[in-house]
Amino acid sequence: MTAVRQEGGIVLIDAGMAFPDEEMPGIDLVLPDWSYLRDHRDELRAVVLTHGHEDHVGSLPYLLREFDIPVYGTRLTLGLVRPKLAEHGIKRADLREVKAGDTVDVAGFGLEFINVNHSIPDAVAVALRTAAGIVVFSGDYKVDLTPIEGAPMDLSRYAALGEEGVLAYFGDSTNAERPGYVPSERIVGETFNEVFETAEGRIIVASFASHIHRISQVVEAAKQHDRLVGVTGRSMIRNVQIARELGYLDLPQEMYVDQRDVNQIPDSDIVILTTGSQGEPMAALSRIAAGTHRTIEAGPGDVVIISATPVPGNERGVSRTINSLMKRGAEVLYTPLRAVHVSGHAAREEQKLVLSLLKPRYLVPVHGEFRHLRHHAETGVGMGIPRENIFVLENGDRMEFRDGNARKIEPVPAGMFLVDAGTVADTSESIMRERQQLSEEGMFIVVARINAQTGDLLGPPDVISRGFVDPQAQNGLVDESIGVVTQTLQRTASSHVTDWSELKKAIRKDLSSFLSEKTRKRPIILPLIVEV
């Protein structure tokens, strides 16, 4: 999410989200912190979406709960957005459809939408004509001269903008470390045909549900080899339906098999599309691998294609899924064993091509980890852009363009909102620390019964441990802990402490010190005082 602000107001480029990593137990989604937008809500004019992937549209339902602003996007992008909004009870969003080649004026911003290739149809770059000059946002792109759907990237329009003069280019950096060019998506289709040609049993293909091009290639391979297509996974079912309705996926009804009916089709006559290419624990492929899917089991004779590469942080989950599928006897194909996936992001030579056409005065690498941004910056230096004209920014950093010059100015708040059980948590750091401590150290619950009038301890306290050490290996640790807590309670009773918060604090302090000395662990300690 990038905010572009001038006198006429603020336009947002994309409204994405991220998925939680292993350090965020229990968290569903990670949203950008838009405190800055709350402070400038009267200036918000529009959200402009470059394409329909979750990391570019996923926070839109939460954003539109707070801000009533129009949303511009292409046909498929808005088609994928609508059911998300409906799920969140947003029924009257102002969605405005555009297409590549369109120009729109929004509060003094001239928006131009430029066709690019990506792993989803209807992806666009956005050129903003601002009071300071032309600013180009690449969106996610690759230069594919033989795309699965639509026309190749509109490089001629980039060249024309370059001749006109581009003030700044905010460019996709995901594959900045990768030399050369990214292969065409059609390479994957050729691999699919080879697999379909030799496979005798069922074929199961796991992909991102939003990777419509990949799904389309599976369907085309199924047509050529007389297989029906089954679909499982909530988001896969939904996106396949949307793509069919909007004409982006040619999957005839007579080829479509409901997931409840896939077992009625001979193994050699079906291919199954599924979610779970990232090893997500609750995704359909993970449940198939674990043997807990309601209708689909994997076994000998099945070929499973994982048509994606792991997003950083998901490697262990993907590896676990592959191992589980192989233990069940399935053959699993994945990169680098076979060419079952190509990236949708430009490699270094493609980035050079774009820079040579746009000839921006300033380069701002975006979309990638910090190391990717730095590599993209070095590519820009190699293309002749002065190092002082390249800005590698982090979340919250702010740039000002004035009189043709650029400089960094004071940053704005840019943390994250965490979605926990469907609710956005405004402040989450303490909760995350507690959850991490629980997952790593466990917890102790201390129950002490106290005479409400005298403050005397009524019998020994109960100490219960969870997730700390194996009960069989405690070796009297709980009994010793009871002794420590008893001493604390007797000491405070003799001091006539009646403030239970002080008593709980003393229990935590003494028991924590004891457990740390004995085990070098510091579990969460939860004292409960029962007045009798």
pLDDT at position 186 over 50: yes
Confidence of residue 474 (pLDDT cuts 50, 70, 90): low
Active site annotation includes 345: yes
Output the average pLDDT for the chain.
90
pLDDT at position 38 over 80: yes
The pLDDT value given to residue 443 = 81
Q: Which of 334, 366, 401 is the last residue of a domain?
A: 334
Same-domain status, 328 and 466 = no
The pLDDT value given to residue 440 = 66
Q: How far apart are CA 344 and CA 119, in angstroms?
A: 5
pLDDT tens column, 98-121:
999 999 999 999 999 999 999 999
Active site annotation includes 172: yes
Confidence of residue 341 (pLDDT cuts 50, 70, 90): very high
Q: Which of 307, 334, 361 is the last residue of a domain?
A: 334
Name the domain count of the chain.
Answer: 3
Task: Calculate mean pLDDT across residues 247-259.
Answer: 94
CATH number, domain containing residue 263: 3.40.50.10710
Same-domain status, 164 and 301 = no
Q: 404: exposed, middle or buried (C-beta count within 10 Å: 0-12, 13-18, 19+)?
A: exposed
Q: How far apart are CA 69 and CA 60, in angstroms?
A: 11
The pLDDT value given to residue 517 = 83
* pTM of this structure: 0.82
The pLDDT value given to residue 427 = 46
Same-domain status, 164 and 201 = no
pLDDT tens column, 364-423:
999 999 999 999 999 999 999 999 999 999 999 999 999 999 999 999 988 777 776 556
Task: Calculate mean pLDDT across residues 159-185.
Answer: 97
Q: The domain containing residue 249 runs over which residues?
A: 186-334
118, 345, 372, 376: which one is catalytic? 345
Q: How far apart are CA 30 and CA 311, in angstroms?
A: 15
Residue with tokens 């946002």: 137
pLDDT tens column, 42-78:
999 999 999 999 999 999 999 999 999 999 999 999 9
The pLDDT value given to residue 514 = 87
Same-domain status, 163 and 21 = yes
Same-domain status, 198 and 224 = yes
Q: How far apart are CA 63 and CA 413, in angstroms?
A: 16
pLDDT at position 472 over 60: no
Same-domain status, 153 and 226 = no
Task: Calculate mean pLDDT across residues 281-302.
Answer: 92
Same-domain status, 168 and 216 = no
Residue with the larger pLDDT of the pair 415 and 231: 231
The pLDDT value given to residue 426 = 53
CATH number, domain containing residue 470: 3.10.20.580
Encoded tokens for 110: 């001239």
Same-domain status, 369 and 506 = no
Residue with the larger pLDDT of the pair 125 and 463: 125
Same-domain status, 165 and 197 = no
Share above pLDDT 70 across residues of the chain, in percent, rounded to a whole number: 91
Same-domain status, 195 and 286 = yes
CATH number, domain containing residue 380: 3.60.15.10
Q: How far apart are CA 367 and CA 272, in angstroms?
A: 32
172, 302, 420, 510: which one is catalytic? 172
pLDDT at position 492 over 80: no
Same-domain status, 437 and 417 = no
Same-domain status, 22 and 157 = yes
Q: Which of 299, 334, 369 is the last residue of a domain?
A: 334
Share above pLDDT 90 across residues of the chain, in percent, rounded to a whole number: 68
Q: How many CB atoms lie within 10 A of CB 51?
A: 27
